[in-house]
A and B are shown apart, each in its own frame.
Chain A
Amino acid sequence: MSDCHSDSYMDEDYEEFVYSEDESVVSISSDSSNHGQVRTRAAAAAAALATNGGAAALQSQSSVPAQSQTQYSADLGYDDEDDDFFGDDDNDFARAIGTGPIKKAWAVDFKVYDPDGLRATQNGTVDRMMPLLAISRDTTTLLLRCYLWREESLVEDFIADPERTLAKSGLSAHPIAPRIESGNEAFTCEICFTSGVDEQYLGLTCGHCFCTDCYATYATGKIREGESWRIRCPAPKCKALLGEESARLLLAEHKDVLGRYEDNLTRSFVNDLDSFTWCPAPNCQYAVECLVPRSAMMTVIPTVNCKCGKAFCFGCKVDDHMPAPCYLVDKWLRKCKDDSETAHWLKANTKECTKCKSTIEKNGGCNHMTCRECQYHFCWVCMGPWNEHGQQFYNCNRFNEDSSKNSRDSVSNSRALLERYLHYYTRYNNHEQSVKLARKLLATTEKNMEQMQREMTLSWIEVQFLSDAVDVLSVCRTTLKWSYVLAYYMMSDNQKIIFENNQSDLEMATEQLNELVENPIGQMSIEDIKRKIIDKSTYVKSRWETLLSDTSLGLQENRWQFED
């Protein structure tokens, strides 16, 4: 997991004092156990009470000074300006995509956690809640898990009726620390029926005791099924939960199972909280926290960048799809899956009967067509009625303004819709292919860079502009690709024209940059090429930022109407 800390201050084990705006002392304690989270020294538990739900956990990690915390919690939401929130996000790509230190209109706050960080977050929450509830650590943890980490509702319920709150979750207010006992002659394990003084056994707060072998086998089975904190006492219908301490005691000799148990705990933490999600990249073990609520995802596209390099949408887990919002992306992908191939074939090979709109494939014979559905006679060439052709026999060289216009007008609405879809799909698909080609381009670019280094005796750093340009290209092409999805569903009006102007500016600039990057070594001197590419990259980037800022603002202002 060390790579996650590689470029930040978190690796070092030190503590430093930082003066915040209001001169209150803020300590940054940094070691692997708390994952470099910045905490106010006065991490008053009371402050946590003032916040809501999962957000509370987040607040404690921010370096907002105690005084300003109330204000922060007041306007807590996806548009919060909390610069420290991604304080450890040093990744270049994150900057490229606009989540760097200066927040862009389309950027959302998020934080990437590795498994250790997730564990530390859970422990931090437990530490904060323990003094408030004044119950054991094990019980606090279980309660928090039962409440899906909604601290506020837990505290509310607990203060109102501690006994009931605990009982509801199968817990007791004064549990005896779990321990393995033996030496009881009267003990019989209800699972294996063995009894005797030698039998070691364990029971939860409910008092149901089973021998440690059976208990461990039982727990192992549940853990293998993916369970963690929801494992209950094996007695029939007993609601008592197996706490972490008991589990560790039982499985002390089964390190592999215990490891799996810990993994399951972390997994369920991420799954139980709406504000967390796993990175969808294969084999990536990072989780991302983001506070954009589900309800805001009609207008906000919460694009986050995992430390593994993957840029994805927090809401729908699809790869970065700015500027199209999730519901349109979902609709589009579904549509493409349903129709694309069929649509291509239909377009290339069929026409529609002008009368009944049946789709017709002409697989031979003359141009005098008879529709099998409605028996309409028409000419395949001009799509006009056959009787107008008279004795001239499919000689429709004469362009009959009226009938041809009529038949063309009546080319059904559905075909017009198909045309429209194909227009956007072609462009969408084109950019998608180009993104893939950009990867190939990167390989050629690297070759070019080497060549430049050799022939022009340039240093490695001096040729970086080329690969930077390729990065910009990929990002812009992805945005362009999804911009066509947005445009497809957007109703035509003046606002759409403005959007399309932005889109075409970006597209044109992107194509020009692409051309420059592909053939950099030509007649021009290296300085010229370098200057040109850097200039163009900067311009493309600015066009890209314009498009994204404009669309993200437009979506929030409901500037456009979208088709259902």
Chain B
Amino acid sequence: MSMVSKRILKEVDRLRQDPVPGIVAEPIEDNIRYFSVRMNGPNDSPYADGCFTLELYLPDEYPMLPPKVRFLTKMYHPNIDKLGRICLDILKDKWSPALQIRTVLLSIQALLSAPNPDDPLANDVAEQWKTDERKAIETAVKWTALYAERVVRNDVAKRE
């Protein structure tokens, strides 16, 4: 077995045995390189109540090249564009072969709580974020309610 697929198998194994809280990543059917991801929005963010779906693909050169990740759920976020593409340094020039699917997904989750409108991918969203942050966050909450799956959390349940 090649070094590459051994690594992928191990990663899948670890993701199953020791899942990242709030993130589920599983290979789709018989393609070990193609993952379906479900990610809960971080608690302290406008995305808190949503569960978002993403797709993740490991190219042949993985882990020398970064995985390709994209949101399938419509997002209102300055670093995520209409097609769900994500602007994140570790997915581009800051990629390191010692990073893993796990770390990539955690970074994406962190990006949801810390949008960076100064380095935008969706220009209109970024502008809204900079000129009227309150309204931008409102829209993000609205979009989350509109497009994302609803997450039932313990604390949320208690409040209701």
| A-to-B contact residues, CB < 8 Å | 190-194, 208, 210, 213-214, 217-218, 221, 234-238
Query: Which residue in chain A gives the minimum CB-CB distance to B64?
Result: A221
A193 and B12 alpha carbons, distance in the complex (Å): 12
Q: Point out the residue from B6, B7, B11, B98 that lies within 8 Å of A210, measured CB to CB.
A: B98
Instruction: Known A218-B64, A221-B61, A236-B103; judge A191-B6 contact (CB<8 A).
Output: no
A217 and B4 alpha carbons, distance in the complex (Å): 11
Do residues A213 and B96 form an inter-chain contact, with CB atoms below 8 A?
no
Do residues B3 and A214 form an inter-chain contact, with CB atoms below 8 A?
yes
Instruction: Known A235-B96, A236-B96; judge A192-B6 contact (CB<8 A).
Output: yes
Query: Which residue in chain B gives the minimum CB-CB distance to A235?
Result: B98
In the complex, what residues of A have CB within 8 A of residue B11's CB?
Answer: 193
Interface residues of B in 112-151 (CB under 8 A from A): none
A238 and B4 alpha carbons, distance in the complex (Å): 23
Do residues A217 and B64 form an inter-chain contact, with CB atoms below 8 A?
yes
Q: List 8 A-B contacts (CB under 8 A).
A: A191-B63, A192-B3, A208-B98, A217-B64, A218-B97, A234-B97, A236-B98, A236-B103
Name the distance in Å between B89's Cβ and chain A's nearest Cβ: 10
Q: Point out the residue from B3, B63, B90, B94 that lies within 8 Å of A213, measured CB to CB.
A: B3
Does residue B32 face the partner (Cβ distance < 8 Å to A)?
Answer: no
Does residue B99 face the partner (Cβ distance < 8 Å to A)?
Answer: yes
A70 and B64 alpha carbons, distance in the complex (Å): 51
- Interface residues as binary, B1-43 with A (CB distance below 8 Å gives 1, 0 otherwise): 0011011001100000000000000000000000000000000
In the complex, what residues of A have CB within 8 A of residue B94's CB?
Answer: 236-237
Interface residues of B in 83-112 (CB under 8 A from A): 90, 94, 96-99, 103
In the complex, what residues of A have CB within 8 A of residue B64's CB?
Answer: 217-218, 221
A221 and B97 alpha carbons, distance in the complex (Å): 11
Do residues B7 and A192 form an inter-chain contact, with CB atoms below 8 A?
yes
Query: Which residue in chain B gives the minimum CB-CB distance to A214?
Result: B97
Instruction: Known A191-B63, A193-B10; judge A234-B96 contact (CB<8 A).
Output: yes
In the complex, what residues of B have CB within 8 A of residue A221's CB?
Answer: 61, 64
A221 and B60 alpha carbons, distance in the complex (Å): 13
A234 and B90 alpha carbons, distance in the complex (Å): 12
Given contacts A191-B97, A191-B98, A236-B96, 9 further A-B contacts (CB under 8 A): A190-B98, A191-B63, A192-B7, A214-B97, A234-B96, A234-B97, A235-B96, A235-B98, A236-B94
In the complex, what residues of A have CB within 8 A of residue B98's CB?
Answer: 190-191, 208, 210, 234-236
Closest 4 CB pairs of A and B: A236-B96, A190-B98, A192-B3, A193-B10
A235 and B98 alpha carbons, distance in the complex (Å): 5
Q: Point out the residue from A191, A235, A237, A238 that lies within 8 Å of B7, measured CB to CB.
A: A191
Query: Which residue in chain B gives the minimum CB-CB distance to A211?
Result: B3
In the complex, what residues of A have CB within 8 A of residue B7's CB?
Answer: 191-193
In the complex, what residues of B have CB within 8 A of residue A192's CB?
Answer: 3-4, 6-7
A190 and B100 alpha carbons, distance in the complex (Å): 9
Name the distance in Å between A345's Cβ and chain B's nearest Cβ: 42
Q: Point out the residue from A194, A217, A237 that lies within 8 Å of B96, measured CB to CB.
A: A237
A210 and B61 alpha carbons, distance in the complex (Å): 17
A63 and B98 alpha carbons, distance in the complex (Å): 51
- Interface residues as binary, B54-88 with A (CB distance below 8 Å gives 1, 0 otherwise): 00000001011000000000000000000000000
Query: Which residue in chain A gives the minimum CB-CB distance to B13?
Result: A193
A190 and B97 alpha carbons, distance in the complex (Å): 8
Among A191, A214, A217, A237, which residue has the most Cβ atoms of chain B within 10 A?
A191
A213 and B7 alpha carbons, distance in the complex (Å): 14
In the complex, what residues of A have CB within 8 A of residue B61's CB?
Answer: 221
In the complex, what residues of B have CB within 8 A of residue A235's CB?
Answer: 96, 98
A236 and B91 alpha carbons, distance in the complex (Å): 12
Do residues B6 and A193 form an inter-chain contact, with CB atoms below 8 A?
yes
Among B4, B11, B63, which residue has the most Cβ atoms of chain A within 10 A?
B63
Do residues B103 and A194 form an inter-chain contact, with CB atoms below 8 A?
no
A214 and B61 alpha carbons, distance in the complex (Å): 12
Do residues B97 and A194 form an inter-chain contact, with CB atoms below 8 A?
no
A218 and B61 alpha carbons, distance in the complex (Å): 10
A191 and B98 alpha carbons, distance in the complex (Å): 5
In the complex, what residues of B have CB within 8 A of residue A213's CB?
Answer: 3
Do residues A236 and B6 form an inter-chain contact, with CB atoms below 8 A?
no
Instruction: Known A234-B96, A236-B98; judge A194-B63 contact (CB<8 A).
Output: no
Query: Which residue in chain A gives the minimum CB-CB distance to B100?
Result: A190
A414 and B143 alpha carbons, distance in the complex (Å): 59
Name the distance in Å between B92's Cβ and chain A's nearest Cβ: 13
A213 and B61 alpha carbons, distance in the complex (Å): 14
Name the distance in Å between A449's Cβ and chain B's nearest Cβ: 60
Name the distance in Å between A239's Cβ and chain B's nearest Cβ: 12
Among A193, A221, A237, which residue has the most Cβ atoms of chain B within 10 A?
A193
In the complex, what residues of A have CB within 8 A of residue B97's CB?
Answer: 191, 214, 218, 234
